[in-house]
Amino acid sequence: MSEDGLWFLESFTKNQLHSFKVKRLISSFFTKFQKVDIVELEIFGKTLFLNGKIQSSQIDEFIFHESLVLPSLLTHPSPSEVLIIGGGEGATLREVLKDKKIKNAVMVDIDRELVEECEKHLPEWSKGAFKDKRAKIYFEDGEKFIEKADQKFDIVILDLSEPVEEAPSVELFTEEFYKKVYKVLKEDGIVSVQAGSTDPFYCQFFSSIVKTFQNIFPIVRPYWTFVFSFRMPWGFVCASKKYDPLNLDEKELVKRMEERGINSQKFYHAGIHRALFSLPLYLIESINSASIITKEKPFLWKA
């Protein structure tokens, strides 16, 4: 934050800075795990920053969260048990609970203070999801939760912040963790993950995530879209044991959405589903040459 309190400076990497005109400072503090800033920006509205990096904004959070959740949710023909790792704002939980087939949605976030602050100051994100009877919220390490889980899930959604140095999410973007996710999924389970930027310069993280999943799952479908508040295209990955999102046609998607009560989107629809999975050549080439992420060789953003 600048001295006059009017601008927020985001250090995206050592080579790129972004500045935002601030209308109102809502909350700024350190939790046990990370720096949290909730501000109202002149263009984006309410915006959440973690460790100085933008996470989601009022103007377009629906693009990110619908993209993260709905392609995988609808690829599964009958999901009832969903596990979310991360997702502090509650918007990922909101999208999951749109589906009437969901009986239990478990959300695990290591940072209780962050979740409570988001529920207080960003209620537009969760829209009551934390109070839904199908939701169960746990505040603990996501990897430890999966290791001791005594149930299997139809879908696991990894809504994690970027792996910057000393961030709690660094080891959750590794082959070792993804193998644990594989084990906690049912025989026809699906995992969905937010996978970082997909622009021509900063796409190495995305490509490495895809490559890592390809070493574990039989079906791996990377996809992308543009997120206005991130100022760049953003990537996601759907990795599945059985169902392929590319096998769904528009007619079947419309049917599933109608049957399951998924009808309040502002971005995702049946007609855009397959288009999301169409990658440009530079991303395909980047994936082919990418390295697998491990705990021994993690991916770290250098800010």
Give the pLDDT confidence of 240-276 residue by residue, as tens digits: 999 999 999 999 999 999 999 999 999 999 999 999 9
Instruction: Please tell me the total count of domains within the chain.
Output: 2
Provide, rounded to the nearest whole percent, the portion of the chain with pLDDT above 70: 96
* Residue 174 CB neighbours (<10 A): 22
Provide the CA 240 distance to its chain's centre, in angstroms: 16
Quick one: average pLDDT of 14-41?
90
Q: Looking at the structure, tell me whether residues 20 and 75 fall in a common domain.
A: no
Q: Looking at the structure, tell me whether residues 42 and 121 fall in a common domain.
A: no
Long-range contacts of 286-292 (CB under 8 A, 24+ apart): 286/203, 286/204, 286/206, 286/207, 287/207, 287/210, 287/211, 287/222, 289/207, 290/204, 290/207, 290/208, 290/210, 290/211, 291/208, 291/211, 292/175, 292/208, 292/211, 292/212, 292/215
Q: Looking at the structure, tell me whether residues 158 and 18 fall in a common domain.
A: no
State the residue range of the domain holding 109. 61-288
In a domain, 2, yes or no: no
What is the reported pLDDT for 302? 65
What is the reported pLDDT for 232? 93
Quick one: average pLDDT of 227-248?
97
Is 159 catalytic? The answer is yes
Q: Looking at the structure, tell me whether residues 48 and 66 fall in a common domain.
A: no
Tokens of 23: 């209308």
Q: Which residue has the higher pLDDT, 18 or 158?
A: 158
What is the reported pLDDT for 285? 97
In a domain, 134, yes or no: yes
In a domain, 293, yes or no: no
In the predicted structure, residue 1 carries a pLDDT above the cut 50: no
Last residue of a domain, one of 31, 55, 79: 55
Q: Give pLDDT tens digits for 192-224.
A: 999 999 999 999 999 999 999 999 999 999 999
In the predicted structure, residue 297 carries a pLDDT above the cut 60: yes
What is the reported pLDDT for 88? 94
Q: Looking at the structure, tell me whether residues 13 and 86 fall in a common domain.
A: no
Contacts with 288 (C-beta within 8 Å, 6 or more apart), sequence order: none
Last residue of a domain, one of 15, 37, 55: 55
Last residue of a domain, one of 55, 75, 90: 55
Quick one: average pLDDT of 117-136?
97
Q: Which of 159, 199, 244, 249 is catalytic?
A: 159
Q: Looking at the structure, tell me whether residues 89 and 125 fall in a common domain.
A: yes
Contact 8, 53 (CB under 8 A): no
Tokens of 127: 């829209």
In a domain, 91, yes or no: yes
DSSP, res 303: -
Q: Looking at the structure, tell me whether residues 117 and 13 fall in a common domain.
A: no
In degrees rounded to 5, what are phi and psi of residue 231?
65, 30
Q: What is the domain-level CATH number for residue 39?
A: 2.30.140.10
Distance CA 162, CA 165 (A): 9
Distance CA 164, CA 166 (A): 6
Q: Looking at the structure, tell me whether residues 42 and 140 fall in a common domain.
A: no
CA torsion through residues 52, 57, 63, 66, sign: positive
Q: Looking at the structure, tell me whether residues 50 and 169 fall in a common domain.
A: no
Which segments within the chain are labelled E, that is strand? Answer: 7-13, 16-30, 35-41, 45-50, 53-57, 81-86, 104-108, 135-138, 153-159, 185-197, 219-227, 232-240
Tokens 């109102």, located at residue: 24
pTM: predicted TM-score of the whole model, two decimal places: 0.94
Distance CA 89, CA 273 (A): 25
What are the Cα distances from residue 21, in Å, to 1, 10, 52, 160, 188?
10, 12, 15, 26, 46
In the predicted structure, residue 191 carries a pLDDT above the cut 50: yes
Q: What is the domain-level CATH number for residue 189?
A: 3.40.50.150
Q: Looking at the structure, tell me whether residues 27 and 156 fall in a common domain.
A: no
Which of 32-46, 101-115, 137-151, 167-181 has the weakest average pLDDT? 167-181
In the predicted structure, residue 14 carries a pLDDT above the cut 80: no
In degrees rounded to 5, what are phi and psi of residue 127?
50, 45
Instruction: Supply the angle between the helices 250-260 and 61-75 in degrees, to the nearest 10.
Output: 100
Q: Looking at the structure, tell me whether residues 81 and 149 fall in a common domain.
A: yes
Which of 9-18, 173-182, 193-202, 281-290 has the weakest average pLDDT? 9-18
Q: Give pLDDT tens digits for 68-125.
A: 999 999 999 999 999 999 999 999 999 999 999 999 999 999 999 999 999 999 999 9
Q: Looking at the structure, tell me whether residues 90 and 210 fall in a common domain.
A: yes
